[in-house]
Amino acid sequence: MSRFFDLTQLPDARGHFGPYGGRFVSETLSFALEELESIYAELKNDPAFQAEFDRDLTHYVGRPSPLYHAERWSREIGGAQIWLKREDLNHTGAHKVNNTIGQALLAKKAGKPRVIAETGAGQHGVATATVAARLGLECEVYMGAEDVERQKLNVYRMRLLGAKVVPVESGSRTLKDAMNEALRDWVTNVDNTFYIIGTVAGPHPYPMIVRDFSAVVGREARRQSLEQIGRLPDALVACVGGGSNAMGLFYPFVQDDDVRMVGVEAGGEGVASGRHAAPLTANAPRGVLHGNRTYLMSDEGGQIADTHSVSAGLDYPGVGPEHALWKDVGRVDYVAADDHDVLAAFRELTCVEGIMPALETAHALAHAKKMAAEMRPDQHIIVNLSGRGDKDIHTVAKIDGIEF
Amino acid sequence: MNSSDTNRIDRRFAALKSQGRTALIPYITAGDPGPSHTVGFMHACVEAGADLIELGVPFSDPMADGPVIQKACERALVHGTRLTHVLEMVAEFRQQDTETPVVLMGYLNPVERMGYDNFARQAKQCGVDGFLAVDMPPEEIDENAALFAEHGLQSIFLLAPTTSEARARTICHHGQGYLYYVSLKGVTGAATLDADAVGEQLAKLRELTTLPLCVGFGIRDGESAAAVGRVADGVIVGSALVGRIAERAETPETIPEALKAILGEMREALDRSA
């Protein structure tokens, strides 16, 4: 593989991952991003800060999460062995909490009494509301009005945790609009507010910070693979919306050239239909949104395109800039799983392994199944089981024609 | 880095300075409430005393704008107004008005999609003088600054109350035409501003640059325009105009008079306090 970039040394000083990333924000926010960058630069190598982070991950989140061999499912598929990195077993039920714990500690160090977040499926919002409750921070979560409707359970969870959930009625009423509104809040309240971004997107230094806090997943998986499989896996599979759980799993393996990595985007009604949320798979043009340059779904006039996915958490027209570079240099393959296959995978894992995955996670499972079927039984795939599916029962029931 | 004296923006500010007047800069969103009205609104602004026009390029995700300009973008996009149409509007405006500077203002992605070289070339051909993207700080403009300069398109940048002195130096170094001082933390259309505080900030900036300093955010009538006009080289009024357009969206023929009324009041207040 030809490499022009040392993938372990990114981003550059200005937050660029090759041609992607950067800091495309209104001037009012520049100082807050500079401040965050300098706080993080200091704390990143501070043993006391890292110890506090690790302690919280162990005793509050419940890490390490298990690497579970899905033996029965693997046998039924009849190909490679599938291992599940059980992020669904974390406190709050998804990988998102790893990052929010870290950013909440940064907020505390920055002396900000208020945190805000955007959320799609609600997992990041719940994780933010949770750490805010624990640290006594005021918390406001922006959520697209359509997502408020399809993720009612998480909305109520956030409210129980003391957060204010603000439904966003503008635009497509989904994740991107929630992020617009969070940015509007931040630009207004930047003096007392820390913006906890939930994915590896946004302006520099967020993609780097979220990656670093999420990478605990891959570090553990790498160690567990050596212990439990006796070697590194043949492949890693994770779903990609903004791309934080995939980044978290993949990043510590980025130099392991023999480990294939596959990111699975939301195919919606099929990439060919145009009704999807798969900018990498569809080769969307380069664009700028929410502070960074990346693959971005837009029309010919540069207006952001509407996206479609059964899962609120992947319903986003862009993708983290580091993924964009990884696609270009060929380190990671990006594919899509459509809604139909995703729902089948959701049901299959639930029935065969007794593990109900989030619909986002089911994208990774749908593709892992296809891959496994074409591999040998002595080969191994690790799938990031990024979140649990309780929050999606309402959505699946609706598809089944059941009303509670 | 100021470009040649043939640029309309530089010429206009030089003339205003020699007359001791403050620039009145209206912002309207192109294509709001429909694409056929925009050029007429621009001429109405000039008749009412506008010195420069900021023409908004509608964007689907205007994340630095408040509800008033968000809705203006939505009204414009419903009618399919895209960057190419906005450029055509400027070309049409230029058939009658060859002197009033026009700055396109908006977000980066429509330009990113069109291509910087293509955009700069077409913009200049159509008579656009400057470009201001809210999400394009000078650090990110890189080689595109040279492209714009090659076509004589000036890059206008924002300064905010939160801008550090080091950043202000960078911005002043890269800025052309004028600097847009955002008077408030917040989105467009937010609360009223404190003219004294703005004055103190501008005084500091004048030590770093000779570029004209124009102030936007929070200017809504003659009184607030005059207060800011005492300390700034120009006042920028956006949401107050766009709000009036919204009120009359169903009767667009009444909008030019409404724009003239509010801009006329501001013009008079600015000239009186000069």
- Write out chain B's pLDDT in tens, 274 residues: 344 456 999 999 999 999 999 999 999 999 999 999 999 999 999 999 999 999 999 999 999 999 999 999 999 999 999 999 999 999 999 999 999 999 999 999 999 999 999 999 999 999 999 999 999 999 998 789 899 999 999 999 999 999 999 999 999 999 999 999 998 878 877 676 788 889 999 999 999 999 999 999 889 999 999 999 999 999 999 999 999 999 999 999 999 999 999 999 999 999 998 7
Element (H, E) at A56: helix A47-56
Written as six digits, the tokens of A366 are 């749908």
SS (H, E, C) A113-132: CEEEEEECCCHHHHHHHHHH
Instruction: Give the C-alpha separation, B146 to B243, whole Å.
Output: 36
Peptide bond into B26 cis (omega under 30): no
- Comparing CB atoms, the residue among B83, B135, B159 nearest residue A288 is B135
User: Please, where are the H alpha helices in A229-310?
Assistant: 244-250
Distance from CA of B260 to the nearest CA of A (A): 30
Is A386 catalytic? The answer is yes
pLDDT at A320 over 60: yes
SS (H, E, C) chain B: CCCCCCCHHHHHHHHHHHHCCCEEEEEEECCCCCHHHHHHHHHHHHHCCCCCEEEECCCCCCCCCCHHHHHHHHHHHHCCCCHHHHHHHHHHHHHHCCCCCEEEEECCHHHHHHCHHHHHHHHHHHCCCEEEECCCCHHHHHHHHHHHHHCCCEECEEECCCCCHHHHHHHHHHCCCCEEEECCCCCCCCCCCCHHHHHHHHHHHHCCCCCCEEEECCCCCHHHHHHHHCCCCEEEECHHHHHHHHHCCCCHHHHHHHHHHHHHHHHHHHHHHC
Q: What is the pLDDT of residue B184?
A: 82
Question: In the predicted model, what is the mean pLDDT of residues A215-227?
Answer: 98
Length, in residues, of chain A: 404
Locate the domains of chain A by residue range: 16-56+96-210, 64-93+215-399
Exposure string over B221-245, b if 16+ CB within 10 A, otherwise e: ebebbbbbbebbbbbbbbbbbbbbb
Interface test with A, best of B113, B170, B183 (most A CBs within 10 A): B113
Q: Under an 8 A CB cutoff, do B61 and A289 touch?
A: yes
Is A118 catalytic? The answer is yes
Provide, rounded to the nearest whole percent, the portion of chain A with pLDDT above 90.
95
Surface-to-core class of residue A399, CB atoms within 10 Å of its CB (0-12 exposed, 13-18 middle, 19+ buried): exposed
Element (H, E) at A52: helix A47-56
Element (H, E) at A293: strand A291-295
Q: Under an 8 A CB cutoff, do B108 and A25 touch?
A: no
Q: Under an 8 A CB cutoff, do A32 and B162 touch?
A: yes
pLDDT at A74 over 50: yes
Q: What is the pLDDT of residue A3?
A: 56
pTM over 0.90: yes
Interface test with A, best of B135, B142, B183, B193 (most A CBs within 10 A): B135
pLDDT at A323 over 50: yes
Written as six digits, the tokens of A313 are 């958490």
Asked whether the domain spanning A64-93+215-399 has the same topology as the one spanning A16-56+96-210, the reply is: yes
Q: Under an 8 A CB cutoff, do A28 and B83 touch?
A: no
**A and B: number of Cβ contacts within 8 A:** 121
Instruction: Give the C-alpha separation, B49 to B51, whole Å.
Output: 6
Give me the catalytic one of B54, B74, B97, B117. B54
Q: Is the dihedral of CA A87, A93, A99, A105 positive or negative?
A: negative
For residue A291, which of A215, A197, A211 has the smallest C-alpha distance? A197
CB-side exposure of A186: number of CA atoms within 13 Å? 30
> CA nearest A20 in B: which residue?
B140
Query: Does the A16-56+96-210 domain belong in CATH 3.40.50.1100?
Result: yes
Distance from CA of B226 to the nearest CA of A (A): 24
Q: Per CB distance under 8 Å, which residues of A are interface residues toward B?
A: 14, 22-32, 34, 170-171, 176-177, 179-180, 183-184, 187-191, 285-291, 293, 296, 298-304
Interface test with B, best of A14, A20, A24 (most B CBs within 10 A): A24
- Comparing CB atoms, the residue among A29, A189, A288 nearest residue B108 is A288
Give me the catalytic one of A85, A96, A112, A369. A96
Question: For residues B187 and B152, is the Cβ–Cβ distance under 8 A?
Answer: no
Q: Which CATH number fits domain A64-93+215-399: 3.40.50.1450, 3.30.1330.60, 3.40.50.150, 3.40.50.1100?
A: 3.40.50.1100
Delineate the domains of chain B, giving CATH numbers in brackets.
Answer: 8-273 (3.20.20.70)
